[in-house]
Structure 1
Amino acid sequence: MRYTGLLFFLLIMFSAVYAQPHHIDSLKFINSSTPIPDHPRLLLLAGEENNIKTAISTQRISQGVHAEILQKCDSMLMTKPVERILFGVRLLAKSRECLNRVFHLSYAWRMTHERKYLDRAEQELLAVSNFTDWNPDHYLDVAEMTMAVAIGYDWLYHDLSEKSRSIIKEAILKKGIATSFDPTYPNYRKWLSVTNNWNQVCNAGISFGALAIYEDHPALAEKVINRSIASIQIAMKDNGPDGAFAEGYTYWGYGTTFNIMFLNAIEKVFKTDFELSKIPGFLKTASYLENMIGPTGKNFNYSDASEVSTLQPAMLWFAGKLKDPSLLWNERSFLTREKLAKNTDRLLPALMIWGRNIDIEKITMPKNKIWVGGGKNPVALMRSSWTDTNAVFVGMKGGSPFVTHGHMDAGSFVLEADGIRWAKDFGFQEYTALELKNIDLWANKQNGQRWKIFRYNNFSHNTLTFNDSLQRVNGYAPVISHSGNPQFINAITDLSSIYKGQVKKAERGIALMDGQFVIVTDEIENLDKETTVRWAMLTSAKVDLKGNQAELSQNGKKLIISIPNSPEISIKTWTTNPPHDYDDPNPGTTLVGFEAVIPAGKKQSFQVFLIPGNARVNVSKPLPPLKNWPR
């Protein structure tokens, strides 16, 4: 038995000994005498159901979301309670399923008072409370399970039997909160000082547990909540200065949403978020996410991301906080009945809380056609229209492979036109399968095994490669200029340090011209050695090669790749067949581009035109050098 009364007492009393770093435990924002509301206190106070019921009665979309939640709850009644089954080293899938069920069922009970939802939620809570543990060796599992059980305990508190409350409370205490003070677990508190999604998710989950049992353990709750308020700032500051989220679209949906769960919870209880939402860049991150989605509905899936875009309930919190409904331009389409039925977001009930005062059907479109954000993984996102599904959209990134979940993709881009994603990104490869094959997926030093994975290195991305070498892990590519000039929307990134030791200087500019076509310009200054550069673009289209042109065709649409000012260059293709048995297959994809030799010490420029089928383009006149692009 890992826990004993004495051990638990000592851990709580002397937990500052194990503080990593110490100052996180020493900061004070609340004290145990701070008054708090009675149950329910997490996210939705007693009586606030009436506000949601008003929205349901007056807003068609709210009606649809509510009906979908109840339908999902009814389907849950036919399943077995969650079981403790690991997938590889993770219990995370089960923690997430528990959160999905308990949050939905607890919402259904509070809104309808149909006993079937209460009874089933209680079964789920008791089932996971009786697990041997919540797998603290992979701490996200504990965090999500603690949040799940905390919501159920808090929202159903007055309707659970005394025996059930005792069992559930004990599980929150010992299987959840106590493990965050227990140094016998590997890296048991590392998440307190990291900048990535682990910080946001773990702080949110454990704090929900502390808030749920606050009245029974006020000193412990004080310690946990003060620790989280201090710690979560570390991750929130990573959105600075402009809101670009270093880990990309998918992990924005994870980390930022849990961050909002935390902010909303403490603000409900303490009537303040302790000015956390004022951290520079944090509120701007909503614009980042909105601009990341192209006209096809796919996102710019750099790093470990899937190109499938999903409903993001947190966007409704941002829209309300900023009083800017235009942030929900994409969410509006996700909330159509057809798309909503496919939604599997375990936090969907939060949308009913955050969106109850917003009529999504009345929002207006965003105004700007370019969005640029700096930070650890800077991006530039450009489009010709917000309303035309055939619009041109191009996203480019700089950054570094060293960021969490990063790839060797500095300089990479995606391109959409005529409803087709022409230039794409593979995104991530499923982690557990790699780990089960003993691949050190997280070894991101220069010679780390991570960069042998085909989807993660620069050979599979829409960027440059010099002499078949990898990008530099410790390099960094900033976006150094940009312009929203309607005839010449553009951004430029300096890739020089990403290719340190390979070339002297490398800059890439991408321009959306007249809202019709795209030009990729690369300016390279070589070292005192002959260098071969490879320019590559990943596509799912059929490729027909024609000298220094290639015609891409897909779904009856066409796109021309042309290098008009370099007649000596011939466009070619490379296979995307996986080089290792642990690499995922990549059917239906091709790398298209060219190779060129740059003489020692010389400067060379390449201009690649990407022209959708209906665009009218004069390719005979080259663009000015990057230094003369509009800024």
Structure 2
Amino acid sequence: AQWNTWAPPWFQAHGQHTYYPAGLLAAQTAFGYDLLYDELSPNERQLVRKALLEYGIARAYREYVLDNRILANTSNWLAHTVGGALIGSAAMWNDEPVPELALYTNGLLKKLEEHLAASYLGDGSYGEGISYQEFDLETTTVALIALERVFGFNYWDRSHVKDSLWYPISTLAKPISGSLDMGDTHYPAGHSIAPVVARSRNPVFRWFYDLLDHNSLHDFLFADFSLPSQPPDAPGSRYFPQKGAVVFRTGWGEDDAILLYRAGPNFNHNHADQGSFLIRALGEELVTEGGYADYYKDPYYDSYFKQAIGHNTVLVDHDPESQEIAGTLGSLSGYPKITDVILSRSFDSLSSELQQVYRDRLRRFCRRVLFVKPEYFVIYDELAGNREPAQFDWLLHLPDRARVKADGSISLYRGSKSTLAVQKLLPADAAVHVENGHLRYSTFNPAAPPSPPEQPAILELSTKAPVTRTAFLVILAPTRTEEDARKFTSALQPIDNSSWAGFESRGERDDLLLFLKPEPPREATYGEWSTDAAVWFHRRVANRDNILAAQTVTTLKRSGRVLFAADKAVSFVAEYRGDQIEVTVNSREQARVEIARTNGELAGITVAAGQQTVTVR
């Protein structure tokens, strides 16, 4: 409290009043003041209050209320500067009157409310990455507790903080160090989540808490061990519409498959990674990215790790910086969006629009991702240039170049526990080559590893010449062995005609997957099938229907007989189990759908907006 400033001199030299470490110090000083109040002399109390008011509260008010710094309200800095100042205000509220304190407190409360609304989202996530959420919670949770105890303000029920652990749970892997996330982030540590778990009263959150190591002050003060523990339901796929993320899963075991996909707004510490995805399966990471790098020290952070080239997306004209970061000047008119999602036990699918961040070079970039569980993932991209023909590079980051074998249309990544088959179907003539990714600066700092690190790889599929439009269709199949991988790919037969792009495979399971091309007739046919679906899938096992699924569909027929119909475009998955069908439907509004029972009769169902699952007998 006797220091002459809590902010670094370079901040003050730039006309800024405070810095997030000053907020952390304010929170810690206020906690110490409250804890030791009876042990402090009147003069010592006055000294601490003066420092809290001048260095913690007043400067945060000037910076974040009067100057309204961080207009988007999404930065974790706000949790510390504003939250720390409010903890200070709460600690000294009932002491000697301070005329300005009510003004400062009211202004800071408004800024805190804006931060909570912008960062803690209604879909169960937090805008920034997992490690920044945990950093934010260090001060936010203590502030919410202090504000409720002193002022009676219950921000737990007025915000989504207590529901915000669904994203780190959904991306969780075993071991925890293999958990998936994107941007400037790390896997979860859980040091600050105890108050969230206690206040949520959610047994799944308690299950998550118990998986992590706990030795923080938050654990000591706020953990509630009376809350029962319950694992989440399987398979665990989840859509986060406000964050702009989808997680596909097969379950919660060490070998279960997980895919994380991103397309959405920028919050803070995000990268130019729209349309990127990560895959973990069979106990190891199979599809990676440039990932986290030290943004203060890494010489390749600005040119590689945060750029499109560091992620699993598409480059235009070989430009490593093909994407703007969403929400910056180049993409203020809009940001990429996930437009359609359907999640079920055996089949997950999403569609997204990504052209908004391509600096006006693309008229269309639609990426669709499907997961036929647990066998394979499908990536289908439709690209159209805005003016001039362009060349396109489709990127796939793999952990270790020494384990990559690129061989024509089929490439293999042979991991330590499994093999990933990468089957290129479109463009048929795309060039396949492997490039080196960058090792992170932290690999060698503060000390070099004892043995040479793995060299990250980028598998690139490139159009051979500039084109006005193209499509990429790639199958990714995690298998146990290289033999299994080759057996899988040998069964795939590509389909590419005027209406459809896709494939079929024959074997233990007969699969047919087709994507409708951009300008076909409203209802297109393929063999005995006819439909207006944007994408559809059919699987037969032992000569019986097993799965039927489609996105953005109103009619799907086989040999003229209606198998599915809707009065509005919906997405659905039908899973056949004996004489009953489990039907999952996702609709933007209430719709009336019909599905053929196993005996051929049509069953009518009224579905509400959103996703729901019903059983048809």
Q: Is the 8 A contact 1:548 1:566 kept in 2?
A: no
Alpha-carbon deviation of 1:206?
0.5
Q: Deviations for 1:496-521, whole angstroms, at most 9, x for unmatched residues? A: 21225322211112222122332222
Number of the residue aligned with 1:234: 114
Alpha-carbon deviation of 1:162?
5.0
Number of the residue aligned with 2:492: 619
Q: Aligned with 1:380: secondary structure?
A: strand
- Alignment counterpart, residue 69 of structure 2, candidates 190, 197, 200: 190
Number of the residue aligned with 2:151: 270
Cα distance in 2, alignment partners of residues 579 and 252 from structure 1:
23
TM-score normalised by structure 2 residue count: 0.68
Cα distance in 2, alignment partners of residues 579 and 311 from structure 1:
25
Q: Aligned with 1:433: secondary structure?
A: coil
In structure 2, relative to structure 1, the CA distance for the partners of 1:201 and 1:292 (3 Å cut) is farther
Number of the residue aligned with 1:389: 254
Cα distance in 2, alignment partners of residues 195 and 359 from structure 1:
31
Q: How does 1:138-537 map to 2 (within 5 A)?
A: 139-161=19-41, 164-181=44-61, 190-191=69-70, 194-214=73-93, 215-238=95-118, 239-273=120-154, 275=155, 277-279=157-159, 282-297=161-176, 298-306=178-186, 308-314=187-193, 316-335=194-213, 340=214, 348-359=216-227, 362-367=229-234, 369-375=236-242, 377-386=243-252, 388-400=253-265, 402-433=266-297, 452-469=302-319, 470-473=322-325, 474=331, 476-499=335-358, 501-527=360-386, 529-537=388-396
Cα distance in 2, alignment partners of residues 287 and 552 from structure 1:
31
Q: Deviations for 1:549-599, whole angstroms, at most 9, x for unmatched residues? A: 22212324322212246553343211224799xx99996311123112476
Q: Is the 8 A contact 2:390 2:468 kept in 1?
A: no
In structure 2, relative to structure 1, the CA distance for the partners of 1:477 and 1:282 (3 Å cut) is farther
Alpha-carbon deviation of 1:378?
0.5
Number of the residue aligned with 1:595: 462
Number of the residue aligned with 1:17: none
Number of the residue aligned with 1:25: none
Alignment-mate amino acid for residue 239 of structure 2: V
Cα distance in 2, alignment partners of residues 187 and 553 from structure 1:
57
Does 1:575 find its partner at 2:436?
A: yes
Q: Aligned with 1:531: secondary structure?
A: coil
Alpha-carbon deviation of 1:379?
0.4
Percent identity over the alignment?
16
Q: Is the 8 A contact 1:370 1:381 kept in 2?
A: yes
Q: Deviations for 1:439-463, whole angstroms, at most 9, x for unmatched residues? A: xxxxxxxxxxx98431111011111
Q: Deviations for 1:108-166, whole angstroms, at most 9, x for unmatched residues? A: xxxxxxxxxxxxxxxxxxxxx33332116351011000001111110122234555444
Alpha-carbon deviation of 1:414?
0.9
In structure 2, relative to structure 1, the CA distance for the partners of 1:489 and 1:193 (3 Å cut) is closer
Q: Is the 8 A contact 1:320 1:354 kept in 2?
A: yes
Alignment-mate amino acid for residue 517 of structure 1: Y
Q: Aligned with 2:189: secondary structure?
A: coil
Does 1:607 find its partner at 2:468?
A: no
Report which of the two has the higher share of strand: 2
Number of the residue aligned with 2:600: none
Alpha-carbon deviation of 1:326?
0.6
Deviates more, 1:138-147 or 1:524-533: 524-533
Cα distance in 1, alignment partners of residues 59 and 397 from structure 2:
45
Q: Is the 8 A contact 1:329 1:366 kept in 2?
A: no
Ranges in structure 2 where 5+ consecutive residues have no aligned partner: 12-17, 326-330, 494-502, 505-512, 517-533, 536-549, 552-570, 572-617
Q: Is the 8 A contact 1:311 1:334 kept in 2?
A: yes
Matched residues, number: 468
Number of the residue aligned with 1:135: 7
In structure 2, relative to structure 1, the CA distance for the partners of 1:364 and 1:459 (3 Å cut) is closer
In structure 2, relative to structure 1, the CA distance for the partners of 1:186 and 1:259 (3 Å cut) is closer
Cα distance in 2, alignment partners of residues 427 and 599 from structure 1:
30
Cα distance in 2, alignment partners of residues 518 and 574 from structure 1:
23
Q: Aligned with 2:473: secondary structure?
A: strand
Q: Is the 8 A contact 1:193 1:199 kept in 2?
A: no
Cα distance in 2, alignment partners of residues 472 and 168 from structure 1:
46
Alpha-carbon deviation of 1:369?
1.8
Report which of the two has the higher share of helix: 1
Alpha-carbon deviation of 1:188?
6.6
Task: Report the aligned-residue RMSD.
Answer: 3.2
Q: Is the 8 A contact 1:466 1:532 kept in 2?
A: yes
Q: Aligned with 2:492: secondary structure?
A: coil
Deviates more, 1:223-232 or 1:607-616: 607-616
Q: Is the 8 A contact 1:369 1:383 kept in 2?
A: yes
Alpha-carbon deviation of 1:277?
3.3
Cα distance in 2, alignment partners of residues 157 and 367 from structure 1:
50
Ranges in structure 1 where 5+ consecutive residues have no aligned partner: 1-128, 438-449
Q: Aligned with 1:471: secondary structure?
A: coil
Q: Aligned with 2:357: secondary structure?
A: helix
Alpha-carbon deviation of 1:494?
1.0
Cα distance in 2, alignment partners of residues 563 and 403 from structure 1:
34
Q: Is the 8 A contact 1:412 1:463 kept in 2?
A: yes
Alignment-mate amino acid for residue 74 of structure 2: T
Q: Is the 8 A contact 2:237 2:250 kept in 1?
A: no
Number of the residue aligned with 1:548: 409
Q: Is the 8 A contact 1:560 1:613 kept in 2?
A: no
TM-score normalised by structure 1 residue count: 0.67
Cα distance in 2, alignment partners of residues 324 and 294 from structure 1:
20
Q: Deviations for 1:283-321, whole angstroms, at most 9, x for unmatched residues? A: 442212321323442333312213x3211432x433333
Alignment-mate amino acid for residue 558 of structure 1: T
Alignment-mate amino acid for residue 534 of structure 1: D
In structure 2, relative to structure 1, the CA distance for the partners of 1:366 and 1:166 (3 Å cut) is farther
Cα distance in 2, alignment partners of residues 534 and 457 from structure 1:
14
Q: Is the 8 A contact 2:396 2:458 kept in 1?
A: yes
Alignment-mate amino acid for residue 254 of structure 2: T
Alpha-carbon deviation of 1:483?
1.1
Q: Is the 8 A contact 1:296 1:420 kept in 2?
A: no
Q: Aligned with 1:190: secondary structure?
A: coil
Cα distance in 2, alignment partners of residues 396 and 235 from structure 1:
25
Q: Is the 8 A contact 1:477 1:495 kept in 2?
A: yes
Cα distance in 1, alignment partners of residues 101 and 406 from structure 2:
65
Alignment-mate amino acid for residue 290 of structure 1: I
Q: Aligned with 1:453: secondary structure?
A: helix
Cα distance in 2, alignment partners of residues 257 and 512 from structure 1:
37
